[in-house]
Chains A and B, each alone.
Chain A
Amino acid sequence: MLAGMTLLTVVSCSNPWDDHSANSDENIEQTLGDRLTNDSQTTEFGKLLEETGYDRILSGSKTYTVWPPTNEALASVPQEALSDMKSKKLFVQNHITLTAFSSVSEQDTVTVQMLSNKYLEFKNGAVIFDANVITTDQYASNGLYHVIDKALVPQQNVWEYLKSNAGNKMSSYLLSLDEFNIYQSDSTAKVRAKSEPGLYADSLSNSYLKNVLNLNNEKNKYTFFLLEDDGYDAEVEKLKPYLIKSNEDSTTTYTSYFTARDYVFHKAIARENLPDTLESRFGVKVPIDTDNIVEEVHLSNGVVYVMSTLDVPLETRLLTTQIEGEDPEGFSHGDKRGNTYYREKEDLNGILFYDIMVQNHGEPEFAIYYNTRDLYSTTYEVYWRAINDIQENTFEQRLRFGGTFDLEGEVVDPIATLDYTDVGPDVYDEIFIGEFTLEESGDLDLISLIAANTGSNGDNTLTLDYLKLVPVIK
């Protein structure tokens, strides 16, 4: 024991703990900001960092990954990408992301959100977007960097591209929807976009972005077909007779909207993968002829195909409207909930259907009210599926389109009232009921399903699975 103590006294001159914790790796003592400005490959990018203040951000305590371009790569960046401080900042942001992304990953492709809010794909640790990594996994105290051979010039997104193409008639129309409201609810949304910037604000600021697809969203990818002026005019003219409004200006505005809304699709579809037909989110089948592609523009959130023409035939452009019986807007008498059945049943083939039935209510001409949006100025053929499966007898019901309530609560000035139609027991087919014609396009706020004019129960039953309004081509 004494010998041991003597030994310890002799050895204890050097402190092994200090030796252990001392670090010989200088890289770890430097921040990303320091290392990038000192790396001879990236001195020019380092200067840009200092100029924009990002050298200080990269010296902070958060962890970053940077893909700095070499000096040669930076020299070949077009002037306009670095024309002012705003664009320089955006340029720098487009090379930096929060958290560490090593070149080694379990996934072959990692989608990285850059500080510019653009999403770039980092593939196999070797390629980011269209630049090759030439020096990987350089580390510093607060992150990593991978030197690349081509600068990542920030790209426009689809909406920014349209904004920069205001000379095109279609894009200038879409931009005008910043001001013009297609639907009434758009106006409150636009006010909100201004008063509450941030979440959803970019999608609320324009009637097209709000009602069709938010082309400003960097997180999704879109395919957009931009028509050249002649082709666009032809499509609008074709649709105009079906969107007649009280004046010519409104007609044009709405026709343009109902034309343009069918030209954008979810997901970026490469030219070689474009199918014959795409279906818009409103259900319109759009035939695609790749011969008519004039230009193909790749953007940060998708692709724009500039087309000479993109002809959508009226047969597919005009949509059938279906109104579900079990989704009424109201009733002529408010106290018949106990007689109103929201039903879940099966037809003779065992197919489930949901419908509404109002029975034993005791009111002559009891009515269920519906409404619908976006009808065309044309004649409609009317069909219904009305199922009378629990009564033995046939009863009758009729449809009335349009009209307003007068002071007595009676509906006056309807657009059309169809004849009473029999609803026989156990008929599960869709039946043609009649026609009505709208002079003006737009919403139809009052559609009434009216019971027989009798108080005797069993004869004044109402039932409806759905109504189908099929537009007729003029």
Chain B
Amino acid sequence: MKTIIKNTGNKIALGALAVLLCFTSCQEYLEVEPQDKLNEDQVYNDIFDADAIVVGIYGKFMGLAKKHIILNELRADLVSPTDNADGYLRELNEHSVSKNNTYANPKDFYEVINNCNDALENFKIMVEENKMEISEFNERYSDIGTLRSWLYLQLGMHYGEIPYITEPVENIDDVQDISQYPRIPFDQLLEELVDYIESLPYTDPYNTNSTLVIDVDGYNTAKFFINKNCLLGDIYLWDGNYLQAASHYKTVLETASSSGNDSDRFDIYRIKYADVVNHNDFAVGYTRFAEQDASSLVNNNTQGWRSMFAREKDRLWNTEWIWSLPFDSNFAPKNPFLNLFSNSGGDYLLKPSQHAMDIWEEEVQQNGVPYDARGKKFSYNMINDQPVIMKYLFKHLDPISQLPVDEFQTAGDWFLYRAAKLHLRYAEAANRDNQHKIADALLNYGVRSAYTVEGETDKTDIEQTHLPFPYDFDARNGDFPRYRADWHRNGGIRGRAYLERTEVVGDSLISIEGNLINESAKELAFEGNRWGDLVRIARRRNDPSFLADRIYQKLSREGNSNASAVRSKLMNPENWYLPFEWGVE
């Protein structure tokens, strides 16, 4: 009986509502604009909307930082899981990744790619509708287009065959549908990327007058955005077009060549030699005249090699960093690295591999100290008898107590591109383009030291390469007559690290290339480059053992019983790649 009464009541109410509606205009009633959301046609109205889209995409992009570091380091040979690590991390470490492994899920990448595609399409519409100047369009379109290419290059090196999608996708899960979006092999992907980046209208960084280059919350945004020539160089380097790669890298190397400020001109991206007096540099240094005292190592957040990961974003910082995105305590996304690496306050999931620690121990410094200080003094430290990756923690831990200064102070950075990486990559391209001497010079003690003549005071015809672009270096530093050429302060990667020079043994090309990749391990460890380095060289040489042996080294040094099995698995390049799959919700 009760139900019957209830139904009658509802009918009355419905009736009343229907009557009420009849008196109001349906059109206006239904078309109220939401107050807290934007419609599609409200987003792309003017240049400031476009800027907001660009910044929004980079914000979303930062959500990939954790995955980027995990995939590129844990799958390679320099990082190992700790006892705290879960099964998925162990799977990556041992190259037996199951389909539901969350770290191996490419969906996040495609979400950002889809945002890029959407923005690119709408930027085109905006310029057609005269909502944006063509020069503004060129800058923004090229920036987002390059960022998307970076994402595809990452996907290629981790997943091998992937769908290359350049239009917005309505439902992101459709990306997995092979009939709709066929997958192309890595080689073909590289060709597509070359074609695409060739077509980009603009390759320089944002103009300093751009509305995107501003100070926000104490951060200057200039180095937030991807450096297009660096990525162009990278893609050509992967593709095997070494002259093109070297040319694009060289353009970045010469960023400051037209600067009116001498110290900018001599220092920016040139791997400056050590400032042995004041240590306002990025060199491995010891107190002057006490170089024999190992305890006098310059080891703080404001001087020397370590400071590039810890210092304020000042003039000196600008001479090294090309692309770096900051994580702030107060804004999302949260810094994922403290949890990943710190053993005080964090979960401590990843640590340097024994193999990595051994690599640094094999070096001898110029003062006879028998290890590379970039290893146990800087890149990792022993904290409570545990090896801890430090590059991401300098801003978080007290330098003396090595405890968090403040648990809520979680600022840090995602380190994406810096001068040392640029020099190593340029040298790799130059070496393949038969410029062995230049490659060896940049790796060791710099151009001037390689091209000087002992005892010669007139530097007019020496200390330079006498070669056309992109192999033209002038490093003259003379007083009679006076020369202070653009490259005169270049001290080389190993010179800056205070190490003995590496020797070239046997075939120059192969030997120098090996030296460069080994140096990249020591200089750029834990910055998300290693997997790419190993895959790139192994592909180029058609020698899977280049990659497989190093992974084997890591696993066997830590007593992993699967080491040999993993090695034989990785001898087949098809097994380098992750399963391209994600669960549809």
Q: Which residues of A contact B (CB under 8 A)?
A: 338-346, 350, 352, 357, 359-360, 389-390
Contacts and interface: CB of A to CB of B under 8 A. Distances in A.
A345 B370 contact: yes
Interface of B: 287, 289-290, 292-296, 364, 368-371
A346 B289 CA distance: 20
Nearest to B369: A344
Contacts of A346: 364, 368, 370
Contacts of B287: 338
B368 A389 contact: yes
A320 B268 CA distance: 58
Contact of B289 (A344, A350, A352, A360): A360
Contact of A345 (B290, B295, B296, B369): B369
B292 A343 contact: yes
Nearest to A338: B290
Contact of A341 (B293, B364, B370, B371): B293
A343 B294 contact: yes
Nearest to A350: B370
Contacts of B370: 344-346, 350, 352
A390 B293 CA distance: 12
Nearest to A344: B294
Contacts, number: 38
B292 A357 contact: yes
A316 to B, nearest CB: 33
The 8 residue pairs across chains A and B that have the minimum distance between CB atoms: A341-B293, A341-B292, A346-B370, A344-B294, A342-B295, A345-B368, A344-B369, A342-B293
Given A342-B294, A343-B294, A344-B294, A390 B368 contact: yes
B377 to A, nearest CB: 11
B13 to A, nearest CB: 26
5 contacts: A340-B290, A342-B293, A343-B293, A346-B368, A360-B289
A345 B287 CA distance: 17
Contacts of A352: 370
Nearest to B286: A341
Nearest to A339: B290
A340 B293 contact: yes
Q: Which of B292, B364, B369, B371 has the most CB of A within 10 A?
A: B292
A353 to B, nearest CB: 9
Contacts of A338: 287, 289-290
A184 B526 CA distance: 51
Given A341-B294, A352-B370, 20 more contacts: A338-B290, A339-B289, A341-B290, A342-B293, A343-B293, A343-B294, A343-B368, A343-B369, A344-B294, A344-B369, A344-B370, A344-B371, A345-B368, A345-B369, A345-B370, A346-B364, A350-B370, A357-B292, A389-B368, A390-B292
Contacts of A390: 292, 368
A354 to B, nearest CB: 8
Contacts of B369: 343-345
Nearest to B361: A352
Nearest to A390: B292
A356 to B, nearest CB: 9
A390 B290 CA distance: 12
Nearest to B296: A341
A461 to B, nearest CB: 11
Contacts of B293: 340-343
A472 B186 CA distance: 76
Contacts of B371: 344
Contacts of A341: 290, 292-294, 296
A389 B364 CA distance: 15
A331 to B, nearest CB: 14
Contacts of A359: 292
A345 B365 CA distance: 10
Contacts of B364: 346
Nearest to B368: A345
B52 to A, nearest CB: 54
